[in-house]
Chains A and B, each alone.
Chain A
Amino acid sequence: MNLNAYTLIVTYLMAGLGLAAISLVESIGAAFTLAMAGAAAFTLALNLKGRRIIPGAIWNPLAAVVFAFFIADYLAFSGSLIVAAGRFLTILLVLKLFDLARNRDFVIAYGIVFFQILSAAASTVSPIFLIILSLFIIGAIWAMILFNMKRDYQEAHPAEKGFPRVAFGGPFFAYVVGASAFSIVVTFIIFFIMPRMEFGFFQRKTLNTVKVSGFSDRVDLGTIGPVKEDPTIIMRVGINPIDKPDGLIYFRGMALDSYDGKGWSKTLKDEIVIRRNDGGVFNLTRLEGRAIEQSILLEPLDTDVLFAAGNPVSIEGPFQNIWFDRSGTIRLPSPPYSRIQYKARSILSPVRKDLSMPLLQYSDTSFLNEGPEGARIKALAESVTDGALGAREIAQAIEAHLKSSYSYTLNPNASAGLSPLDDFLFGSRQGYCEHYATAMAALLRAKGIPSRIVTGFLNGEWNGLGSYYIVRQQDAHSWVEAFIEHDGWVRFDPTPSAGVVSYSPSPVSLYMDLLRWRWNRYIIQFSFSDQRQIAMRFEGVGAGVFENLRNALLEKKTGGAASKFSPVAVVVVIVVGLIVWRLFTRKKTPSRTPRFYAEMLRTLKRRGLSRKPAETPLEFAERTGITEVKDITTALHIERYGGRRLTEAERGSVDAAMGRLKRSA
């Protein structure tokens, strides 16, 4: 193969990687990617044959047209900068592949691939991207080496049209892979050491947001039902395995206080801004009890609500400030639009409770009084709670009644002419969590017990491999909180267990999700605080080693057993000793090759001529057939083997020969 063929092949390898990276961008379209791959393969055939079908001058205007298409695509069709840019770059790359004539064109092609990788990096979370990136680094090094060799050859032989036949052995490619592996390792080290910016440029508005229901100031009845079959992942919540509750875990989102016959809304305006303290933590309430810590990776949602289990007491995350209200809802100033990671500390069963007085709206019974339905609800509440003493027993009675007497379905047959609540209680007597929760809130209020509706997520799928919950859209749930005297707000869930989504995951899918979770957690969302933790852990290890070492030495001195001598310390001492020993025993053998000869070898190497180790300088000179090389070799013989310094005249002629050699190169 000649040099040009090598360059072409590596260029197509790069183009393939660019296409693969772009194909990872969601919603770019498999058809588009395949079409572009086909076009690229077609250009490969053309390029290998050295044929042109369209004159080169046409490509630049075409690129301008594609750019116009890109603008149109962005504004009118995809609406996503990343998708539009991905398409634009891909078409541009294929155009460039049609027009690989000058050296410049290769550089432009590599540049386009680089931007493809970059745009894919901004939008994909697939672990496959890591493989593509690694291959890209290796391919880029090959491409640069080959490109430079090709260009140098062309400059050295301006008259020649063709290229020399060359054979790159395995070592060439192997060395590059080795060097790349080394640089990737270094990159990873830098990745973990370089201080992290909290807000990356590409982090903003890069992903398609998931539309979620039930987490806004107004939630109409019947909005959660349709999403109960949507398996889109909303968040992953990592908790310490020992903190995992035996039963179901409720991730609280929003609390709503007012019902108007059609839906719930939040009328209470009691939100306060919480600023983060010096430790970067937002402290919310002063509940006491055993707190569980959750590490939450939230997908980009179109809501500003933050989720947390139980009663959240503090939040830690990449936010400037957050909003918090007395009902326990945590909101961001605006929806994040990108995947965010935050930590929440929650108390599932508080010891010291929040007993602040309930506000008026929670016990607002106004909606019960309109028409005959209000009376029927009151009557039902009385009959259900007959004999119950105190708010807690009343609430438990209502909860039990709803659980047992109504049928759970996601597709209730609504009776015409009835409000959703009346239809559930007295009409079809079937519904899902929203109906159950609304009914319970209504019945509680009929009995004069303050109540509110809470929307959030119920349990999700537990991934024991990584110790985290996978929470999906279909886990959306609503339940009731009632204010019980001396206990504060207590959660009741009247929905029967049929409303809990059950999962029977395969180990493979759990493992795949674990990979995604780790990738997000440790690569994409790797933050400054993570770096600090790693540094502290290392500091701890280091301190431990020295502590052990000191103890061991002290024990030795006092004649005690050295049983506590840490193996780590032993290894460290041995390694340090070996390094020191190497440093002092290594014999330095400076090269005895005269500088001018080494310089000549370098000059020739750039022209693709290199001396084989077993080749004598004279044989090499004969092989090159270059007079200057022969002259310099004679000088080498005199100085290197003859042991005589060159005379001024000889020195001068060597310099002159070298000059001619360099100019001709």
Chain B
Amino acid sequence: MPEINAFQKIKSLKENLGKVIRGKPGIIDLAITALLSRGHLLIEDVPGVGKTTLAHGLAKSINCSFQRIQFTSDLLPSDVIGVTVYNQALHSFEFREGPLFANIVLADEINRATPKTQSALLEAMNDRQVSVEKTTYRLPRPFMLLATQNPLEFSGTFPLPESQLDRFTMCIKMGYPDESHEREIITRSASASSSIEALSPALTTDDVERLQALVDKVKVDEDLVGYIMAIAKATRNHRSIRLGVSPRATMTLYKAAQARALVSGRDYCIPDDIKALSVPVFAHRIITAEHGAFDGTEASTAVMDEIVSGIAVPI
């Protein structure tokens, strides 16, 4: 049993984020789950629903550095990672870190950048390091990339390659706030930016790293591993899915389920952890038979729902 402290810390993190993201406890839980599973988050939604606020609030709450990169079609990899410049005083080349060197990075409208720039993120996301000219630079810990993409704008966008998508732990939708929360948001809007600024840290980066270590210790019953495999297998054999999920995806679901258990105040997984995460973790990774390059994840979400509702839960 992890110290009660851990659950309290997660609780206070949730409360802290709840101050800036109103009426979206599910989204907050998923974001924390992604953070604790050492994952990255892809937020797919229309502009103005609070994607940036979520990323910024998360950074503020864990008292860490935050960078925002606005992706555009002329953005170069060096603009993200950093460049090597010649230091005339020292007569040597030195590396100047790009905006990627932060604990929480918000890649806004990631699909506007060229595949070349998008790919520059692969190593960072997977290994939490970047390599420039034979030198590998370690990114700060914890490191989490939040990317947003607008599913409705097609012109001037480059769809994320599958390898990139596979590295995002989950893809979530913010969704519109309900009426009462929207009213509250409007009336508070004058002080909205200041409320983010006023957010006090709930955790330290050390706390986050300790919680991430605790996630690894969350117990997962072997039958639940079987459950994960059954879902993965179903995506690979489903007739309306062209590309099923990769082993990386099943590993990710396993880890995310552990994190969700901890976020829910348990030190063991239950089937609901897997079932609830199977759609956000798997849906963006599968390619449905009628999939168009610019389609959102709606079709694959529907297929995933259908798959999960047909797989027996081990009890």
Contact = CB atoms under 8 A, between A and B. Distances in A.
Nearest to A613: B312
B313 A643 contact: no
Interface string B255-272: 000000000001111111
Interface residues on B, range: 20 to 34
Interface in A615-631: 615-619
Given A641-B224, A642-B219, A614 B268 contact: no
Contacts of A614: 308-313
Given A642-B219, A643-B219, A643-B221, A637 B312 contact: no
Contacts of A643: 219, 221, 268
Contacts of B267: 642
A374 B308 CA distance: 108
B223 interface: yes
B268 A613 contact: no
A521 to B, nearest CB: 52
Interface string A186-208: 00000000000000000000000
Contacts, number: 49
B269 A641 contact: yes
A97 B313 CA distance: 46
Nearest to B221: A641
Contacts of A597: 315
Contact of A619 (B219, B223, B269, B272): B272
A640 B315 contact: yes
A640 B221 contact: yes
B313 A642 contact: no
B56 interface: no
B270 A618 contact: yes
A616 B308 CA distance: 11
A5 to B, nearest CB: 29
A320 interface: no
B275 interface: yes
A479 B269 CA distance: 98
B268 A637 contact: yes
A600 to B, nearest CB: 11
A470 interface: no
Nearest to B311: A614
Contacts of B266: 637, 642
Q: Point out which of B224, B270, B310 has the most chain A C-beta atoms below 10 A from its C-beta.
A: B270
Interface string B278-315: 00000000000000000000000000000011111111
Contacts of A611: 315
Contacts of B269: 641
A616 B312 CA distance: 9
B294 to A, nearest CB: 32
Given A592-B223, A642-B266, A643-B219, A616 B272 contact: yes
Contacts of B270: 616-618, 637, 641
A593 interface: yes
A17 interface: no
A222 B59 CA distance: 121
A636 interface: yes
A592 B313 CA distance: 13
A592 B308 CA distance: 22
Interface string B195-227: 000000000000000000000000101011000
B212 to A, nearest CB: 21
B221 A613 contact: no
Contacts of B219: 641-643
27 contacts: A592-B314, A593-B315, A597-B315, A611-B315, A613-B312, A613-B313, A614-B310, A616-B270, A616-B275, A617-B270, A617-B271, A617-B313, A617-B315, A618-B271, A618-B272, A619-B272, A636-B315, A637-B266, A637-B268, A638-B268, A640-B221, A641-B219, A641-B221, A641-B224, A641-B268, A642-B219, A642-B268
Interface of A: 592-593, 597, 611, 613-619, 636-638, 640-643
